[in-house]
Amino acid sequence: MKHLLLLGLLTAPSALAASADAWRGQVIYQVLPDRFADGDAGNNAGVNRDDLRAWHGGDLTGLTARVPYLHDLGVTAVWLTPVYAQQPGRSFDTDGYHGYWPADFRNTDAHFGTLADFDTFIKTAHSSGLKVMLDQVVNHTGYTAPLVRERPAWFHNEANCAALGNKDVYCPLSGLPDLAQERADVRDFLYGNADFWRARGVDGFRYDAIKHVPEDFLKNLVHRDADAGTFTLGEYYGGDAGTLAAYQRQGLSSLFDFPLQAALKSAVMTGSSVGAVRTVLEQDQQYPDANLLATFLDNHDVPRFANGSLFEDEARARTVYGVRALMTLRGIPVLYQGTEIAMRGGGDPDNRRDMRFPDAWTPEERAVYEATKGAIATRQASRALSVGSTTLVSVPEAHADDLLLFERTANSERVMVAWNNARDRRTYSVKFSGDARALTRDLFGQDAKLSVSGGYLHVSLPGRSASAFTLK
Ligand SMILES: [Ca+2]
Ligand SMILES: [Ca+2]
């Protein structure tokens, strides 16, 4: 037994590393299938597009038909929110269109299509070079799922859940039937669900609501995934760096970087100090690997990034700034469908409006798309930007609210990143001990300049912009 245990300890880290390494340098696109593309009107039972809480008709066939759109944008992976067969009926005047109210964890909802449609999507995505990540629910079932009646012992009891310990873990989240992962049969059921989707070709799992499941269960779950070569991305809503780092140490490949998202929103969208972003990056050494964190501007659970300004033109300009900023940062960027055209929307469900495609875009939306596509291409063309290490460059206190400078390095490639968070064009001179001499124009094609002379780095940057320059 002892030597088996030792063998386990020796093999686990390499399995963790291998499943994670395949996702280094990826750019993920988040799809909410019901709100993406309707490719089959035959599965539109109960669809009402005037009601943001009803099914809207998007499906796997529609998504498959849009794989060329994703390929053209330049993303390299797709994350689908859940496609499980959902609970019968509505709860809180809402349908299970979002996928988080599963009834059958090993089937697709008829609104999304059949398992054969899912297989076709996977095959099409893979042949276009796109990896596929699928949302997995491990905390609960839908309110009216048959499992609740069939296996009452599989669920925590509303009356005595707190007696088990941590209420976040053992008591129902929003009243949802809460699975009892401390039971071996429940654990095996959840492991089996992961194996079911893995066998269909899924490359990565996004685990929902990890704050609400027991840590030992989650640890076993993600180690099983790593052993099978599956990448894992955990959602700990609002978690701070210390909390997220602890989960990455336990074996999750990646966590959503909520602290960075909050800092990007306050600095880039609302114009507060860019020091908030610097503070987040200063905590990177807490993580086993900050380069694997999932970075994002918005998602289906928070208001749209573009909703941070009352004015649509300003929202678009700041979304372009935000996307370029995101593409300069460490981590694995995740773009939520519609962010590439600066879609607006408040909290859930207003942040889940139907995706619109090129034939329905305004010229202004097309311009945001082109800038987003260009920013992704710029990142993907640079190993320093996509997978390199990050070194912050100190700036004088007087400029600390407006200027963020950091260097990204991979092997011999060096890129200097400069964000100007001031409203207007600015020129900054900063002490710089590096030996850089030559330089390129801004990699994003903006009217920005950088030079190094006499122990100083000089930059001239447009207002509210993120630029990147190759140093030689
Ligand atoms: Ca449909
Ligand atoms: Ca729970």
| b/e 178-206 (16+ beta carbons within 10 angstroms → b) | bbbbeeeebbebbbebbeebbeeebbbbb
Residue 172 lies in a domain: yes
Cα-Cα-Cα-Cα torsion 234, 238, 241, 243, nearest 10 degrees, comes to -60
- Looking at the CA of 97, which ligand is closest? 1
What six digits make up the tokens of 36? Answer: 């993406």
DSSP notation for 437-460: --B-S-TT--S-EEEEETTEEEEE
- Whole-number Å distance, alpha carbon 177 to ligand 2 midpoint, is 9
CA atoms within 13 A on the CB side of 75: 29
Please state the rounded mean pLDDT for residues 227-241: 97
Residues 118-134: pLDDT tens digits? 999 999 999 999 999 99
- Whole-number Å distance, alpha carbon 354 to ligand 1 midpoint, is 13
Q: Are residues 90 and 239 in the same domain?
A: yes
- Whole-number Å distance, alpha carbon 192 to ligand 1 midpoint, is 28
- Whole-number Å distance, alpha carbon 47 to ligand 1 midpoint, is 8
DSSP notation for 371-392: HHHHHHHHHHT-HHHHH-EEEE
pLDDT at 11 over 90: no
pLDDT at 4 over 80: no
What six digits make up the tokens of 143? Answer: 């309110």
Handedness of CA 284, 285, 286, 291 (dihedral sign): positive
Q: What is the DSSP letter of 211?
A: G
pTM listed for this prediction:
0.96
Residue 230: domain span = 15-383
Please state the rounded mean pLDDT for residues 358-362: 98
Residue 89 lies in a domain: yes
- CA distances, 442 to each of 85, 279, 406, 445 (Å): 48, 25, 14, 5
Residue 465 lies in a domain: yes
Sequence-distant (6+) residues with CB within 8 A of 90 are 53
- Whole-number Å distance, alpha carbon 45 to ligand 1 midpoint, is 8
- Whole-number Å distance, alpha carbon 61 to ligand 1 midpoint, is 8
Structural domain ending residue among the three candidates 348, 366, 383:
383
- Whole-number Å distance, alpha carbon 245 to ligand 2 midpoint, is 21
Q: What is the predicted pLDDT for the residue at 7?
A: 41
Q: Are residues 145 and 171 in the same domain?
A: yes
Structural domain ending residue among the three candidates 383, 415, 430:
383
CB atoms within 10 A of CB 164: 15
Q: Are residues 409 and 368 in the same domain?
A: no
Q: Are residues 299 and 231 in the same domain?
A: yes
Residue reference for tokens 């529609």: 62
Chain centroid to Cα 6, Å, comes to: 35
Q: Are residues 367 and 442 in the same domain?
A: no
Supply the CATH number for residue 404's domain.
2.60.40.1180
State percent of the chain over pLDDT 90. 92
Residue 4 lies in a domain: no
Q: Are residues 374 and 435 in the same domain?
A: no
Residue 8 lies in a domain: no
Segment holding 233, helix H or strand E: strand 231-234
- Whole-number Å distance, alpha carbon 353 to ligand 1 midpoint, is 16
What six digits make up the tokens of 415? Answer: 């890129």
- Whole-number Å distance, alpha carbon 250 to ligand 2 midpoint, is 18
Q: Are residues 357 and 404 in the same domain?
A: no
pLDDT at 437 over 80: no
Cα-Cα-Cα-Cα torsion 233, 236, 241, 247, nearest 10 degrees, comes to -60
State percent of the chain over pLDDT 70. 96
State the chain's mean pLDDT as an integer. Answer: 95
Lowest mean pLDDT among 38-42, 156-160, 276-280: 156-160
> How far apart (Å, rounded) are the C-alpha atoms in residues 367 and 465?
16
- Whole-number Å distance, alpha carbon 327 to ligand 2 midpoint, is 35
pLDDT band at 117 (very low <50, low <70, confident <90, very high): very high
> How far apart (Å, rounded) are the C-alpha atoms in residues 74 and 467?
20
Task: Identify which of 437, 439, 443 has the alpha carbon closest to the alpha carbon of residue 455.
Answer: 437
- Whole-number Å distance, alpha carbon 38 to ligand 1 midpoint, is 5
CB atoms within 10 A of CB 62: 21
Dihedrals φ, ψ of 199, to 5°? -65, -20
Residue 5 lies in a domain: no
Q: Are residues 296 and 150 in the same domain?
A: yes
Residues 414-435: pLDDT tens digits? 999 999 999 999 999 999 987 7
Supply the CATH number for residue 49's domain.
3.20.20.80
> How far apart (Å, rounded) are the C-alpha atoms in residues 229 and 374?
31
> How far apart (Å, rounded) are the C-alpha atoms in residues 86 and 97?
8
Structural domain ending residue among the three candidates 320, 354, 383:
383
pLDDT at 237 over 60: yes
Residues 57-91: pLDDT tens digits? 999 999 999 999 999 999 999 999 999 999 999 99
Q: Are residues 323 and 430 in the same domain?
A: no
Tally of structural domains, the chain: 2
Q: Are residues 330 and 396 in the same domain?
A: no
Residue 269 lies in a domain: yes
- Whole-number Å distance, alpha carbon 171 to ligand 2 midpoint, is 6
Q: Are residues 376 and 412 in the same domain?
A: no
Dihedrals φ, ψ of 450, to 5°? -140, 135
Q: What is the predicted pLDDT for the residue at 438?
A: 55
Residue 144 lies in a domain: yes
Q: Are residues 74 and 157 in the same domain?
A: yes
> How far apart (Å, rounded) are the C-alpha atoms in residues 121 and 355?
18
Lowest mean pLDDT among 67-71, 155-159, 319-323, 348-352: 155-159
Q: What is the predicted pLDDT for the residue at 143?
A: 98
- Whole-number Å distance, alpha carbon 40 to ligand 1 midpoint, is 4
- Whole-number Å distance, alpha carbon 278 to ligand 1 midpoint, is 44
> How far apart (Å, rounded) are the C-alpha atoms in residues 254 and 443?
28
